[in-house]
Structure 1
Amino acid sequence: MRITDRILDAMGLQTKALDASTWPADLLAAPTLAGVSVTPETALSVPAVANAVALISGAVGALPLALYRTEGQGKVEAVDHPAFDVVTDQANDWTSSSALRTQLAIDAMLHGDGFALANRLPNGEIFELIRLMPGSVTVLYNPATGEPVYHWNPAPGASTLGNTAQATIAASAEPAREFTYSDVIHITPPLSVNGITGLSPIQHAREAIGLALVLEQYAARLFGNGARPSGVLTAPPGVRADAIDRMKISWQASHGAGNSGRTAVLESGVKFEQLALASTDAQFLEMRQFAIVEIARAFGVSPVMIGDASRATWSNAEQYNRQFLTYSLAPWLRGFEAAYRRVTLAPEERRSYSIAFDTSDLLRGDSAARGEFIAKMRASGVMTANEARAFEDLPAHAEGDSLINPFTQSGKPTGSAAPQDKAAQ
């Protein structure tokens, strides 16, 4: 028994599991008010959700993540650290570090949590990071200290939280095990109910996503019927009910679905009156637009970033990129950095080592602003010519390691003037 468990027993407390029973009922996979269930699989069928998930996870995976060592007033890449390769290059033999970060972000947005296990050598060094399926991990916690413990059970059927498994558990899978917080990289969305496990955007925006699903299904059915609502067949007095039913069935078979637009032949004085499409009255298009905005709010991104260009212009595109980095992506990046630092660095190493993303690539879209930034950094003596060239992916120059301002240096030797020849006086 662990020392924490003994303390809890002495206090009359016990370790609790964070599972479905600890969540409010309205956060479970019950049908929404719109009448549809929102799961990770159904949510991804909404283009706005799929775009938001791909946007954030793609940026997390694309930005370089490196392990640095502090030297003087700056920092350099710690290529000699044992965890450098798994952080920056290959998480394991079959998964790159970029691909692992992308998948962990997807897991967190769809399931609320993303998990990766750090496999260690006997001396404690990490040699690989392995993704754990969200549905196979249960988070336990200590009520007295809040310390999490991760119970991993790779049982068949526990590979996802949906109704269908996306991967089959191998017959030689390991038995259930428990891991401490120093061995599991735990990624959560910025929003959490209990402070330990995360609340996925599709959970707290389930009604908005459910509405988007219903609107999408309605539009599909509408255009599947020729983009026309049902009309009215008006029969003269005296027509029997069975004849009316027969004409209705005949009309639907001849002019429903893909048969719209065909020539209609009516009998017994029956007249057809088409009903006008009332999408504007029901504000159908406005509702679909509002659903996109609500989903964008749930993921913390601008609607422009997920394809709604109604308010985008050439002049504010760069500002949207900056807002995405500052307000949408920064919480995710800080969460990844903290989780990687907790697992890959020992407590005594955190004073001299750090893990951070390089976000400069997101700000390279505007060439004029980029050129102005480099010029100012060179003029202030902060950046050398070779550092500026590396920023633009250019090779180093033999004379490019000087911090001298090229805009004020004339090229003449500095210092006191050379003494004049007395004979020439």
Structure 2
Amino acid sequence: MQKQNYNFFILIWSTQTLSTLGNLILSYGIGIWNFLQTHRALDTALGITAFYLPAWIFSRMVEKYIKLYSPEKILLYTSFCGLFLWTVIEIIRNYQQSLITIYFALIISGFLKSFQVPALAIFIRKYSENNDYQKNISLFSLGNATTALISPEIATVLLKVGNGNINSLLITNIISYFGIIYVLLRTLKIKNIYSKEENKEQINPTKINIKKKYPTICILIVFTSVMSFCSNLTYESILSPMILSRSNENQTVLAIVNSFFGLGSICGGILLTKKIFTIKNPYAVFYLSALISFLFGDSLMALGQNCLIWCLAAIAATIPMPFITAASNMIVYQNASVNDHPKLFTQLNSWESLMIPIGAFLGGYLADNFFTPLISRTNNLSFLLEKIVGKTEGSGMALMFLGTSIIGSLLSISGFFINKTISINKK
């Protein structure tokens, strides 16, 4: 990558890392504030749904505009819209304290995010040479992992500063948008992005059948959706209740385990960014990384009954994540026409986003109404399961992690061999 392009790339990377930090602080803080207002987990799940569902609902619209405008402009326009949105919400909240207002803002914010995710993937491809794909994708993964590590602490501090009010969160998010827009305007002006550079051939794209034209990428989309579902069924939905239940409600243990999730992703990002590990076969790396995450991460999380094992589980589950992200993007970059990238990345994001609220709702329901009662019964099956995951509070939730470990591992192996079979048949 030329030095000028690299500097431009780093500046855009900094704006999107700052954007992610602002969004994570806001979402984490709103989740806590929401629960404290109602003391119902359902309301938190509704917030997750409001944020992620628009990516699936408006996927066709996103495809169209991703093709019409350059990714840099999309990032700029959505940042302007985000700034306007949260400023209006802050003004409204000074007159009316309402959960409905927050849900509405999350829906609009999720709608804007549905443009940003595929635009960012196209941006990376646009400003990367073939041998830089791994490094540049991983750079964004590293930024996201770092923000995920520090955002809960920042959100907690801001809530305490605001005496439990989310105004401090909103103001911080608004300030971050000013920084993002300023840097974007400066860098895009230097790069002369304002010139009419769009490819006119992309304005009226032909429809494609992903299943027929890109069968291996179709499998990738399905498997990524399943991974998203399993992750939200367990990690996003029941991880905190499980650890608190199995550690006598020790919040320090929970905080330590959560920090290791961020550290694992950072380690994986460094391995790829520094090219300590080089991805030569994206398909193999994708499915092998998923297998490692499910087989070791989920199983250790299920079998563990102390902080050390849970921390090891967190590392095992998250070190492969940057590899999965990099490999999935490289599969699209290397195997699909550039004109089809907007549709493919939009579909990847939309189906993955759809599985997030489904997993979040279903995870809590299954834990409370099926797995916890199952392991509490006095029969031979319950006795056997207790031998595996232990007989403590939260054992039913641990059993769910064991289930996702087995199912996810089998799906990873199946996905790899299905993809291999399709590749052989193509030849």
- TM-score computed with the length of structure 1 as normaliser: 0.22
More helix by share: 2
- TM-score computed with the length of structure 2 as normaliser: 0.22
Q: Larger Cα Rg: Structure 1 or Structure 2?
A: 1
More strand by share: 1
